[in-house]
Structures are given as C-alpha cells and as structure tokens.
Amino acid sequence: MYINCRVCGGNVQEFVDLGRQTMANGFLRPEDVEREYFFRLAVGMCELCTMVQLLEEVPQHLRYHDAYRYHASGSESHRKHFAQNARRFMESELTGPDPFIVEIGCNDGVMLSTIAQAGVRHLGVEPAGNVAELAKAKGVQVLSEFFDLATATEIRAEHGRADVIFGANTICHIADIESLLLGVDVLLGPDGVFVFEEPYLGTIVGRTAFDQIYDEHIFYFTVRSVQAMADRFGLELVDVERIPLHGGEIRYTLARPSKRTPTPAVGDLLAAERTRGLAEPETFERFGHDVERVRGDLVTLLREIRAEGRRVVGYGAPGKCTTVTNYCEIGPDLVPFICDSTPSKQGHLVSGSHIPVRPPEAFAHDYPDFALLFAWNHAEEIMTKEKAFRDAGGKWILYVPDVHII
C-alpha cells in the first residue's frame, strides 16, 4: 500500500511491516488490557523526497497524555548529554543580550533545567502533563501544549523570537511536520538556529535496530531527507553531527538561508549515505530480511533456553521492547518479566505482549541464567552496574546487530 508523504505529498512506498502493534510507551495496568489500541506498524519511503515514515499513525492525543511513561532523565548518559547540550548552547548561541531558547518536547526538563539554573530565558513546550510537572519542579518554564503553528505564533507574541529552537527525540514524533516547520519559521529569530537530535535511519538499517521503529517515531531521518525538508520550508541544513545516544543519532542544525556556511560534515555524510544506498529500495529489502532473521534467531534461542529449564529475564523496558516483543510474539511464557528502574513503568505490563515490568531489585534478588537486554543502548552503564550478575555466572543476550550472548 502507499500513502502521501507528510513532507512533500509524494508517494510513500512500504518496505517493512512489523505487524499488529500497540503503543510503545503504552505500559498498562493488568485491569486495562481490554482497552488497548492496535494499529499496523509499517514503514515506507517517499519516492520524491526520500523521507522514511510510518504508513499508519496513532492519534497524537493517545500518545502524549498525562500518564506518559518516557522520562528523558532515566539514565546517567542522557543526563550528562543534555547538561552538556545546555552548556554548549549557552556558550555558542545564547550569548547576545537577553537570549531566548525554546525546547519542543522538553520532557522532564533534562536539558532546560541547566538553562533555568543559569537564569537564561527559556520555554519548554510539553504536551504530556505528568513529565511537564517534573520539569516545572526543576524550575523550568513550561507550556503544556503541542508545538505547531498556532502555539509558535502565541509564543512569539508573548516572548518574542527565539535564538535557539531545540528538540531531542521529538521532531520525528510530530506527524504534522508542516505545521511544526511553519511554526519554527514564525518563531525563529533571523540569526537563530533550529537544532534537533533524532534516531538515524543509517544506524537503524546498518545495525538492524528495528526496535527503533514504533508508533511515536513517525519519521526516520537521513541527512538527505532532512536537507530536502529544510529546503522545502525555507531553511538550510548547516551542520550535522553524529551522537551516541539511543544507539546512534544525528544532531541536525538548520538556519535561515545563507546565514551560515554549511560545515563539511554535511557533504561528507551525504556522500556516505549515497555510497551506502540509503535511499535505494534494495537496501530496505535487505533490511526487511535482516529483521526477519533476527526475529527467527531470537525466538529460537529463547525457546531453547526454556526447553533446557533455564531462566531468562528482560532488562530495561524502553519503548523499543514493545516493538520487539510484539513483532517476535514474545510473551511472559518466554520472558516472565522485565526489570526497569522507571517507577511509573513498574507494576505495569508491556503493551500488547503483556510482559510484567518489575523494579531492578526483582532481578538482583534472584539472578536468572540470562538477561535479555532490551535497553541495549545503555549496555555499558547497565553492565557496569550489574557486574555482580556476570560474576555470578549470568549471561547477557543482545539482539542488535544480531542475536548473540556475551
């Protein structure tokens, strides 16, 4: 099937189907299993602008609400990264008189709290009420709205134009990207920058990280597709930088045309994408086969472990684990529970697959033989923290870039 591209209206041709899925951060109470929302998780590429995107989407108000379970401050590496981001902005972009920074989707204030502490004028725009409250408790100014043209116009009327508009793991979540970019155009100062950090399609394809595909990620950016999008909305892509978060992301910097000289990194990454065939249908066909192979290998391994009477527990319940467990049809029969440090996920079930989430103590209390690492993007932090598990003979199972035991 095909749909019209959300960026340019071109034909989006489907290349992978991850089946019937629910909401990745839809962790639910056992009594609510009757009320789950299902949709078909399939991805395609626009024949015109090459933007990779979901074919079907979950309505926005169902995804971001007052019980949104994703907390950006959930790991040490994220806290460090965003504090550093804030400092970089203050040193490079927020240096004029009375500068102003707006963050789209400020979550629990992981980045803006550093800006607030420095007394710099800022505004977080965050529709998920519960995380917005956490940000406010850290002294961050928050507007509980979706960022779109109307919101941007209001912000400009009240606060003036922004020197920096920032988004981390949010821009790819916004289906009405046209309204978002028109809003950026209204709000961004003449010399301002629009900076966003999002999962990179090159990493997803290169590492078969299909678990990055879920309802919240409407778009899967490449340098090429972001450049085309920027051009279409009167902005210019002036810098790209690879960052190690969420398994491999890119930070894009957009400015008004001819205001800044694009860095060599833009051309370099564009060339690398061409060499890799990152907009070629054959690349995605191969990706589809790789995804099926990982599913087969993982399920076979888990069944073998069960047949041998050994125990496996899931470690970390990121949004990603919803895609993997539902696509591979892994339920509590194969993975009895997943431990996660996020209090609001504990006592809940992973949506669709209904695997219970328990606190990390449930893991430490009685080590299993294997821990299936769903939060593989935090492998280093978690394995260091859980060194005693390995010392006690425990083994980690990873499924990125392929199924392996370490």
Binding site for Zn ion (CB under 5 A): 5, 7-8, 10, 46, 48-49, 51
Write the DSSP string, 351-404. Answer: TTT--BEE-THHHHHS--SEEEES-GGGHHHHHHHTHHHHHTT-EEEE-SSS-E
Q: Does 317 bind ligand TYD (CB under 6 A)?
A: yes
What are the tokens at 55? 């074919």
Separation CA 135–CA 115 (nearest Å): 12
Among ligand TYD, Zn ion, none, what binds residue 8 when CB lies within 5 to 8 Å by partner kind? Zn ion
Q: What is the distance between the alpha carbons of residues 301 and 295, in angstroms, rounded to a whole number?
A: 10
* Distance in angstroms (rounded) separating the CA atoms of residues 251 and 168: 9
The footprint of ligand TYD on residues 233-252 (CB under 6 A) is 246
Tell me if 142 sits within 8 A of 167, measured CB to CB.
Answer: no
74 makes contact, choosing from ligand TYD, Zn ion, none, with CB < 5 to 8 Å by partner type, with ligand TYD
Name the segment binding ligand TYD (CB under 6 A); options: 221-229, 265-273, 299-307, 310-318: 310-318
Tell me if 335 contacts ligand TYD by CB under 6 A: no
- CB nearer to Zn ion: give 8 or 339: 8
| CB contact set of 79 (below 8 Å; sequence gap of 6+) | 73, 110
- Pick from 105, 318, 352, 368: which binds ligand TYD (CB under 6 A)? 318
Q: Under rule CB under 6 A, which residues in 351-390 are in contact with ligand TYD? A: 360, 375, 377-378, 381-382, 385
Q: Pick from 74, 99, 124, 314: which binds ligand TYD (CB under 6 A)?
A: 74
The residue among 75 and 85 lying less far from ligand TYD, judged by its C-beta, is 75
49 touches, from Zn ion, ligand TYD, none (C-beta below 5 to 8 Å by class): Zn ion
Helices (H), 138-254: 149-159, 177-187, 201-206, 223-232
Count of other CB atoms within 10 angstroms of residue 321: 28
Contact positions vs ligand TYD (CB under 6 A): 70, 74-75, 246, 316-320, 340-342, 345, 360, 375, 377-378, 381-382, 385
